[in-house]
Amino acid sequence: MNPTAAPHSLSPGALQGLKVVEMGQLIAGPFAGKTLGDFGADVIKIETPGSGDPLRNWRLKQDGTSVWWQVQSRNKRSVALDLRSTEGQDIARQLVAQADVLIENFKPGTLEKWGMSYEALSALNPRLIMLRISGYGQTGPYRDQAGFGVIGEAMGGLRHLTGNPGEIPVRCGVSIGDTLTALHGVIGVLTALYHRQNNGGKGQMIDVALYESVFNVTESLIPEYSAFGVVREPAGASLPGIAPSNAYRCSDGLVLIGGNGDSIFKRLMDTIGRTDLAADPSLSDNSGRVARIEEIDKAIEDWTRGLQVKQVLALLAAAQVPSGRVYTARDIAEDPHYQARGMLLTQQTRDGHQITVPGIVPKLSDTPGSIRSSAPGLGEDTDSVLAELGLNPNQIQMLRDKKVIA
């Protein structure tokens, strides 16, 4: 593995000057904050004194800190602040008063209980854009129920489609519901920033629900049910209604083949030696191929089973048929294309370790993102951020003595 050194200050970043306050913890809200931070925003993350974001302790750790945390919280400053205290809430309001964006993913009603509803904060800062992430949204009969990404994936219709027919649905292996929600939230923030710029400087509230973010990517799931009464079911590795697109066994592993374009299908059939199928007029379009998908899949796998994965990929690449193999973490780490695209970056942790982290997406030509700072220690920036608010050292120490900050 030859990761690229993480880009530091190659450009000021498209979002330089944008001030973001991040409240909440774990995945969805912080992933949104990370994405904005990668492109230059100044992200101040508020954490609970003593414990901090639980993600600091999730999965594999290095010197007591999760390596996942190093990715999720790069380009952020950490303020350890007790939001349950009156003094902590007052400091939070001061931070929000100077912010462009507030990200929060508490259970609906939590900020209202602390006197920090959107209406109250907007009155304090009319330019504020407030991103609110929750399981079910800020309204509706389920708003008060606890919701995690896994529940959003299930309610959004995705979990029912994963796995093989007749088996227990499986998760995709990462917190896809949270990440989809974060990305929808970032879209909302950028849209609201554009509106604010062109409409008198007024901010607005963005309500993003986990289940809705998942539901938004379920393609024809509901239209097919509405028009035909069809409930889409899990289909394993295949893509129902689009043929051929599946995983096929080789002599030493699996290969994924997408031969569902009309001209691509003909090239695929010619490559596997089935010119009869390539010339069959009934297979010239997708609907005809769907009707005979078992026959087509068998023909393809009869061919792939006699070859190694690398042989299949080479032949299909020459024929310009989309294909690929299933990547593990090791495959990703050793892949030259990942390296050439800057998708494997080295980042130094606060403890001095060099770790490889995912690169920055998307890639902007003039103002690319960068890793300006590694993930902070808990409360590492508390004093400097409070000083920026105008608090003097005595005031800061008084708050620390009262355990409002850490």
Task: Tell me how far CA of residue 65 lies from CA of 56, 61, 350, 356, in angstroms.
Answer: 5, 5, 10, 15
Give the bridge partners for 78, in sequence order: 45
Contacts of 299 (CB under 8 A, 6+ apart): 269, 272, 274, 277
For residue 333, give the 3-state DSSP assignment.
Answer: helix
Please check whether residue 31 is in contact with residue 178, taking contact to mean a CB–CB distance below 8 angstroms: yes
Nearest to 105, CA basis, from 71, 138, 129:
138
Between CA 242 and CA 182 the distance in angstroms is 30
One-letter amino acid for residue 313 of the chain: L
Cis upstream peptide for 368 (omega within 30°): no
Between CA 178 and CA 163 the distance in angstroms is 20
Neighbour tally for 244: CB within 10 Å: 25
Task: Tell me how far CA of residue 262 lies from CA of 15, 247, 285, in angstroms.
Answer: 43, 19, 6
207 is catalytic: no
Please check whether residue 389 is in contact with residue 95, taking contact to mean a CB–CB distance below 8 angstroms: yes
Euclidean distance between the first and final Cα of the chain, in Å?
39
Between CA 236 and CA 217 the distance in angstroms is 18
* Catalytic-labelled residue, pool 42, 178, 297, 381: 178
Q: What is the DSSP letter of 117?
A: -
Half-sphere exposure in the Cβ direction for 87 (13 Å, CA): 15
In the numeric block, which tokens belong to residue 340? Answer: 């050439």
Nearest to 20, CA basis, from 118, 147, 130, 119:
130
Tokens 């990761």, located at residue: 3
One-letter amino acid for residue 39 of the chain: F
One-letter amino acid for residue 261 of the chain: G
Between CA 70 and CA 145 the distance in angstroms is 30
Active site residues: 178
